[in-house]
C-alpha cells in the first residue's frame, strides 16, 4: 500500500515539475514553435477527454452503482461529474485575468520588451507573477486528480500524469518568459516557474492526509466523477482554445485525435 502511495506521489511530482521544463525551454530558443505547442496542447486535450469519458467516468459509475444501486449511483456519478466542472470553473473565475495560465506566450514578442539594463519592467513582472499564482491555484486540483487516479489504477495514473505534464510545459513558458524579460534574471524566472508547479504535489499531500481516511467506494466514485469533469472542462475551456490560437492547418485537431488514439491503445494494452 505504501509503495502505491509513493508511486502516486512521484507521478504527481513529475507532472507538476513539467512547468520547470517549459521554463528551461524558453531560455534556449529565440522563437516559439507555436505549431508544436498547438499540437502538444491538442494532444493533451485528446488524452484527457478520452480517458475521462471512456475510463474515469465509467470507473466512477461502476463504483457508485455497485454501492448505491442503479438509480442513485447514476445520479451521484452525474452530480460528481458536473460538480468537478463547477469547482474548476469557480477556481478560474477567481484567478486574476492578467494571469491566464493557458495563454500562450511567444518568446519573440516578449523579447521586444526586454529590459537591457536589468531594471524590472513592472507590467511584465506583474503579468508573470500573476500567471505563476494562477498556475499554482490551478494545479492544486490537478494534483488531487493525478494522485487519486494513480492510487486506484497505476496505468491510468501514468496516462493522466503524462497528459498533465505536457500541458504544464507551455504553462512554465507563460511564467518564465515575462519574468525573465522583465528582470533579465533567468534564475528568478525559473524559480517562480518551478514553484508554481509544486502546488500539484501539495494537492497530492492534501488528498493523502484528508481524503484517504474516507476513501470508501462511494467517496472514490464521487472523486473520480469529479476528476473526469475537471479534466473535460480544462480541455474544452482552456487547452483547445489555447491550441487553436496558434493553429496551422488543423494542427491542434490532429494532436487531439492522436492523443485520443494513443490513450485508446494504451488502455487496450493494459486490459
Q: Is 168 annotated as a binding residue?
A: yes
CB of 203 closer than 8 Å to CB of 143: yes
∠ CA 167-39-267, rounded to 5°: 70
Cα–Cα distance for residue pair 120/182, rounded to 1 Å: 5
Q: Is 74 annotated as a binding residue?
A: no
Cα–Cα distance for residue pair 176/209, rounded to 1 Å: 32
Q: At what angle do helices 34-50 and 154-183 cross, to 10 degrees?
A: 150
Q: Is 138 annotated as a binding residue?
A: no
25-64 per-residue burial string, b: 16 or more CB within 10 A, e: under 16: bbeeeeebebeebbbbbbbbbbbbbbbbeebbbebbbebb
CB of 151 closer than 8 Å to CB of 4: yes
Cα–Cα distance for residue pair 183/61, rounded to 1 Å: 50
Q: Is 200 annotated as a binding residue?
A: yes
Cα–Cα distance for residue pair 142/145, rounded to 1 Å: 5
40 CB contacts (<8 Å, ≥6 apart)? 166, 167, 169, 170, 255
N- to C-terminal Cα distance for the chain? 22
Nearest to 90 by CA among 233, 256, 271: 233
Residue positions forming the annotated binding site = 139, 142, 167-168, 171, 200
Residue positions forming the annotated binding site for Fe(2+) = 139, 142, 168, 171, 200
Residue positions forming the annotated binding site for Zn(2+) = 142, 167, 171
Amino acid at each position: 500500500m505504501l509503495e502505491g502511495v509513493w508511486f502516486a506521489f512521484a507521478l504527481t511530482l513529475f507532472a507538476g515539475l513539467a512547468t520547470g521544463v517549459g521554463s528551461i525551454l524558453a531560455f534556449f530558443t529565440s522563437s516559439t514553435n507555436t505549431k508544436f505547442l498547438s499540437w502538444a496542447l491538442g494532444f493533451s486535450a485528446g488524452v484527457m477527454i478520452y480517458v475521462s469519458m471512456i475510463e474515469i467516468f465509467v470507473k466512477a459509475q461502476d463504483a457508485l452503482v455497485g454501492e448505491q444501486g442503479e438509480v442513485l449511483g447514476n445520479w451521484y456519478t452525474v452530480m460528481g461529474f458536473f460538480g468537478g466542472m463547477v469547482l474548476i470553473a469557480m477556481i478560474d473565475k477567481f484567478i486574476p485575468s492578467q494571469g491566464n495560465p493557458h495563454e500562450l506566450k511567444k518568446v519573440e514578442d516578449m523579447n521586444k520588451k526586454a529590459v537591457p539594463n536589468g531594471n524590472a519592467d513592472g507590467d511584465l513582472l506583474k503579468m508573470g507573477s500573476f500567471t505563476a499564482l494562477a498556475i499554482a491555484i490551478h494545479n492544486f486540483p490537478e494534483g488531487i486528480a493525478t494522485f487519486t487516479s494513480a492510487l486506484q489504477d497505476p496505468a491510468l495514473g501514468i496516462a493522466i500524469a503524462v497528459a498533465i505534464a505536457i500541458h504544464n510545459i507551455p504553462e512554465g513558458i507563460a511564467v518564465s518568459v515575462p519574468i525573465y524579460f522583465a528582470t533579465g534574471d533567468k534564475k528568478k524566472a525559473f524559480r517562480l516557474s518551478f514553484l508554481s508547479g509544486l502546488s500539484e504535489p501539495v494537492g497530492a499531500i492534501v488528498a493523502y492526509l484528508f481524503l484517504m481516511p474516507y476513501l470508501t467506494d462511494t467517496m472514490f466514485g464521487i472523486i473520480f466523477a469529479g476528476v473526469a469533469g475537471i479534466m473535460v472542462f480544462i480541455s474544452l475551456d482552456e487547452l483547445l482554445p489555447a491550441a487553436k490560437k496558434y493553429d496551422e492547418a488543423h494542427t491542434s485537431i490532429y494532436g487531439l485525435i492522436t492523443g485520443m488514439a494513443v490513450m485508446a491503445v494504451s488502455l487496450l494494452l493494459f486490459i
